[in-house]
Amino acid sequence: MAGTWTVLTNQPPLSAGTMLLLTDGTVMCQDNGTANWWRLSPDSRGDYIAGTWSPLAAGPNAPLYFASAVLKDGRVFVAGGEYNGGTQADLLAAEVYDPVSDSWAVIATPSGWVHLGDAPSCVLPDGRVLVGSIDDVRTAIYDPVANTWVSAGNKNDSSSEETFTLLPDGTVLSVQCSTPSNAEKYIVASDTWVPAGTTPSPLPQPCPGVIGEIGPALLLPDGRVLAVGASGNTAVYNPPSAPSQPGTWMAGPTLFDESGNTLFPMDAPGCLLPNGKVLLCASPGPPCQYPPPTTFFEYDPSSNSVTRIVSPANAGGPCYNGRMLLLPSGQVFFANASTDVEVYTPDGAPQATWKPQITNAPRRISANQTYVLQGRLLNGLSQAVSYGDDAQMATNYPLVCVRNRASSHLVFCRTFDHSSMGVATQTAIHSTRFSVPSGVPAGGSELFVVANGIWSDPVSVNVNP
């Protein structure tokens, strides 16, 4: 069995590009390659298919293929851009968007850097942002609290075209694109990059004169990582018992179309589904080119195999145009730089042990007030969404929602100041603050935490009039 595709009832008034899940449950979406951004708000049942679009403040730049992340305080980090306003620029720029004030603030860039461009990035467990240089072996870390950059440890190669993946032990894994088959990882505690083994077959697509492209890399619920190569090959990383050790790799399945031809996801999105499988896509050869259409797959970690599934109506373009975003509903948005956004509803259900668990929460709440919630697995088991160097749209942070028992009216509460941005934190208890919006229905209700599309069991809460 596989899931089903549905078109958005209210199609966006934009060519949908990078999408980010804000901590109030809304979706922030760029009008691809422009300075314009929009917000999609779900309806009163939490349904995104019937949601409503509204414009947001325009950004200071018009980037295409750039670093992005939702920060632990709920703001949005955007840096670089291979293009700016349609012109190739390898842009040296960074800014932060505040959803509360609907405003952008320009921030500094790493000292001594001349480009950010399509740099890969990753939010570290402590909330800082690791960014790799496309020009050389340097990396830098942005601290959103101090609003400063510091130099980080040097890699063994350039970060150009690479995919950064956060692991449960706090390290960041990357398959090298300039030296195919080699992998390395960043150890936050020691500020060092160390070898992370060798993939069984090359994952980057070797192209004359340029650094090879690669696909997404996703942490699986069992702690392994699926890395998808632009060569059509995939590989699975088994992490070591100690962060400083390299770990091991095993071969994953090769991606083929229905005629048995190898497919090449040269820049392509991927998403870990709540049922534990991975939604993938790829486009045909010849190598080092970017032709349409896009073919879709589900990867099953239990059998280390892929199954081709039905493609959505907007799959006529090349896979590099695609963007995926995991929603609180457990569904996945697929956008392709057009006004047609499709929604994938997977089959199956998450295992009970994957659910976030509320350990402490208020039992009476009021509109326009802020509270603290504590629990386990508040950040989920994975960053869940991956693309690579051109777009980072991770969803490993807690959302809080309140559903009225009598009317089933559902309201998302804005979360912020998460105690961790780690993944698969298991039995550790973490916290987040949440603000109850105005208009929340009064009366007996249920309070949930949602992480990567997986809902906690509810706790009873009474909303004061």
pLDDT in tens, 24-79: 999 999 999 999 999 999 999 999 999 999 999 999 999 999 999 999 999 999 99
Compute the distance between CA of residue 270 and CA of residue 362 in angstroms, rounded to an integer.
36
The CATH number of the domain holding residue 98 is: 2.120.10.80
Check whether residue 296 and residue 393 sit in a common domain: no
- Which structural domain range is residue 359 located in? 353-463
Split into its structural domains, the chain has a count of: 2
pLDDT (mean) for 330-354? 97
The pTM assigned to this predicted structure is 0.97
The CATH number of the domain holding residue 446 is: 2.60.40.10
Residue 255: how many other CB atoms lie within 10 Å: 27
Task: Please tell me whether residue 57 adopts helix, strand or coil conformation.
Answer: coil
Predicted confidence (pLDDT) per residue in 221-259, tens digit: 999 999 999 999 999 999 999 999 999 999 999 999 999
Check whether residue 374 and residue 338 sit in a common domain: no
Check whether residue 187 and residue 275 sit in a common domain: yes
Evaluate if residue 209 carries a pLDDT over 90.
no
Mean of all residue pLDDT scores within the chain: 97
Evaluate if residue 288 carries a pLDDT over 90.
no
Check whether residue 109 and residue 239 sit in a common domain: yes
Predicted confidence (pLDDT) per residue in 109-139, tens digit: 999 999 999 999 999 999 999 999 999 999 9
> What's the pLDDT at 431?
98
Confidence grade of residue 302 (pLDDT, cut at 50, 70, 90)? very high
Check whether residue 104 and residue 248 sit in a common domain: yes
Expressed in angstroms, the distance from the first to the final Cα of the chain is: 46
Check whether residue 131 and residue 258 sit in a common domain: yes
Boundary of a domain, candidates 345, 366, 381: 345
Side-chain half-sphere exposure of 279, counting CA atoms within 13 A: 33
Task: Answer for the pair 270, 278: CB distance below 8 angstroms, yes or no.
Answer: yes
Give the percent of the chain with pLDDT over 70.
100
Evaluate if residue 1 carries a pLDDT over 80.
no
> What's the pLDDT at 286?
79
Check whether residue 336 and residue 368 sit in a common domain: no
CA angle, corner 337, sides to 325 and 252, nearest 5?
Answer: 50
Confidence grade of residue 407 (pLDDT, cut at 50, 70, 90)? very high
> What's the pLDDT at 458?
98
Boundary of a domain, candidates 297, 317, 345: 345
Check whether residue 195 and residue 318 sit in a common domain: yes
Evaluate if residue 101 carries a pLDDT over 80.
yes
Confidence grade of residue 2 (pLDDT, cut at 50, 70, 90)? confident
User: Exposure of 431 by Cβ count < 10 A (0-12 exposed, 13-18 middle, 19+ buried)?
Assistant: middle
Residues 6+ positions from 397 with CB-CB distance below 8 Å: 23, 70, 72, 378, 379, 415, 418, 421, 432, 451
Residues 6+ positions from 282 with CB-CB distance below 8 Å: 215, 232, 255, 263, 264, 265, 268, 294, 295, 297, 319
Predicted confidence (pLDDT) per residue in 434-463, tens digit: 999 999 999 999 999 999 999 999 999 999
> What's the pLDDT at 208?
86
DSSP string computed for 441-456: PPEEEEEEEEETTEEP
Question: What sign does the dihedral 44-47-53-57 (CA atoms) show?
Answer: positive
Compute the distance between CA of residue 286 and CA of residue 280 in angstroms, rounded to an integer.
19
Give the percent of the chain with pLDDT over 90.
95
Predicted confidence (pLDDT) per residue in 368-391, tens digit: 999 999 999 999 999 999 998 999
> What's the pLDDT at 174?
98
| CA distance readout (Å), 210 to 101, 160, 178, 393 | 42, 10, 9, 26
> What's the pLDDT at 285?
81
pLDDT (mean) for 179-184? 94
Q: Which residue is listed with tokens 């190598």?
A: 287
Task: Please tell me whether residue 320 adopts helix, strand or coil conformation.
Answer: helix
Check whether residue 56 and residue 174 sit in a common domain: yes
Residues 6+ positions from 112 with CB-CB distance below 8 Å: none
Compute the distance between CA of residue 80 and CA of residue 278 in angstroms, rounded to an integer.
28
> What's the pLDDT at 207?
85
Task: Answer for the pair 309, 3: CB distance below 8 angstroms, yes or no.
Answer: yes
Question: What are 341's two structure tokens?
Answer: 């956004």
Q: Which residue is listed with tokens 């090298």?
A: 176
Check whether residue 333 and residue 385 sit in a common domain: no
Evaluate if residue 415 carries a pLDDT over 90.
yes
Check whether residue 301 and residue 359 sit in a common domain: no
Evaluate if residue 19 carries a pLDDT over 80.
yes
Boundary of a domain, candidates 286, 311, 345: 345
> What's the pLDDT at 396?
98
Confidence grade of residue 206 (pLDDT, cut at 50, 70, 90)? confident
Evaluate if residue 354 carries a pLDDT over 90.
yes
> What's the pLDDT at 180?
86
Side chain identity at 70, as an amino acid letter? V
Predicted confidence (pLDDT) per residue in 76-91, tens digit: 999 999 999 999 999 9
Check whether residue 266 and residue 307 sit in a common domain: yes
Task: Please choose, from the candidates 17, 121, 110, the residue with its C-alpha nearest in 3D space to the C-alpha of residue 389.
Answer: 121
